[in-house]
Amino acid sequence: MSVMPLAVLGAVIALIAVRQVGSVRLQIWQAMVLGAAAMVLTGAITPAAALRALDADVLLFLFGMFALGRALEESGLLADLTYRAVRRAGSADALLAVFLLAVGIASAGLMNDTLAVVGTPVAIHLARSHGMPPRLLLFALAFAVTTGSVASPIGNPQNLLIALHAHLASPFGAFLGGLALPTLAALGLVYAVLRVAFRRDFHARPLVHEPGAIVDAALARLSAVALAVLLALIALKVAWISAGAGEGPRLTLIALVPAALVLIVSPRRVEIARGVDWQTLGFFASLFVVVAGVERSGAVEWVVQALGEGVAHPPVIVAASTLLSQVVSNVPLVALYLPVLEGAHAPAGAFLALAAGSTIAGNLAVLGAASNVIVIDVAERRYGERIGFGEFLRLGLPLTAAQLVVYAVFLR
């Protein structure tokens, strides 16, 4: 087992936690770029292997979602849709509950990263409009997109990977049947943790919601069509997987088709393209290099072998996948763990436990889920709202522990 990649990963986590090198202030994406460079310079991964580690599908998917999200925001359509969704919430408590439930349910069908992209400006707008701290709804967004995505085979990339390799007779039936109820309970835990942590920020004043204004009617119409195309492609993917016909339309296609519609047709295409969060894309490109270096260290394989006979036992899977996802991220971990479960002829419950543990791992720390990074990075760079590594961990650790107990009980 090679120690150098783990040392580089530790340094990256430390940089993200302190965000400071001497007098230089670092953003999350800059810390990850430094980590990728260190992986190459220390020989933990060769330049050629670093290039091969870049996941073009993920990068193109995120680019498409950033472009569509920008068009929705710039046109005013996103604000209008937000008003329609929350206008009946008459108090701060009700707003948090509605927001959590809406984001959690939507993330099961729209992919958690999609909700992170479009949800960040929504969270900021709602909080500032109603005199609530933006950090409250940013935490709600980050925790809800992760938690809600557990219950669906298309809620996140690792669930899709599990659904395609677990030989489930009905992937959607298996996920919803085994994970829907504990996921609702887990969303309730998110509400409880945030209600306690921010208890002084829940004022008793009735909320007055202002209708969202469409500021560019032409772009709003085009964005509505692009959003409809996105939803149609997702529905096609759901039908495809439900029929057992394979993966269906690739996520890259699902994101790029509506984005291309906006970027080709709209006269504001250059402005929208410039508004794409290129720094976040740089973070993910660098993350792939860092993760690839850690994979080559052999640390994950060593831990899995050390688990012995318990490796296919659901409570062990939930705990192990949660912890190991902090080291190599959830998608690579699932790719490494799946052959172990297949070799052990594990039942369906074991695969659902892997989905639950590897996904809920995202609630533990900033780097546990890609959606966390999107929310935190965009909120800091565009709106000046900062969530620190330690602050996330203080809320994420007890929340994740409680949620893991819920899933372990349901999947025992």
pLDDT band at 169 (very low <50, low <70, confident <90, very high): low
Percent of the chain with pLDDT over 70: 92
Instruction: Read off the pLDDT of each residue in 164-176 and give the average, rounded to a whole number.
Output: 74
Instruction: Read off the pLDDT of each residue in 127-137 and give the average, rounded to a whole number.
Output: 91
Instruction: Read off the pLDDT of each residue in 256-284 and give the average, rounded to a whole number.
Output: 89
Which residues partner with 25 through β-bridges?
Answer: 20
pLDDT band at 221 (very low <50, low <70, confident <90, very high): very high
Per-residue model confidence (pLDDT) at position 14: 82
What residue segments make up the domains of the chain, in order of their start?
4-410
Whether 68 shows a pLDDT value over 70: the answer reads: yes
Per-residue model confidence (pLDDT) at position 307: 66
Report, in angstroms and rounded to the nearest whole number, the Rg of the chain calculated over CA atoms. 21
**C-alpha distance from residue 27 to each of 114, 141, 173, 224, 351 (Å):** 22, 20, 41, 33, 36
Token look-up 């172990």 returns 340
Please tell me the distance from the alpha carbon of residue 194 to that of residue 176, in angstroms, as a whole number. Answer: 26
User: Phi first, then psi: what are they for 296, rounded to 5°?
Assistant: -70, -10
Per-residue model confidence (pLDDT) at position 177: 84
Token pair of 276 as six digits: 């794409």
Instruction: Read off the pLDDT of each residue in 17-24 and give the average, rounded to a whole number.
Output: 70
> Is 159 within 8 Å of 251 (Cβ atoms)?
no
The predicted-structure confidence for 310-360, as pLDDT tens digits, reads as follows: 667 777 888 888 887 776 667 777 777 777 777 767 777 788 888 888 899
* Averaged pLDDT of the chain: 84
Residues in the chain: 412
Per-residue model confidence (pLDDT) at position 317: 82
The predicted-structure confidence for 86-96, as pLDDT tens digits, reads as follows: 878 888 889 99
Instruction: Read off the pLDDT of each residue in 132-145 and give the average, rounded to a whole number.
Output: 94
The predicted-structure confidence for 114-123, as pLDDT tens digits, reads as follows: 788 888 988 9
Q: What pTM does this model have?
A: 0.82
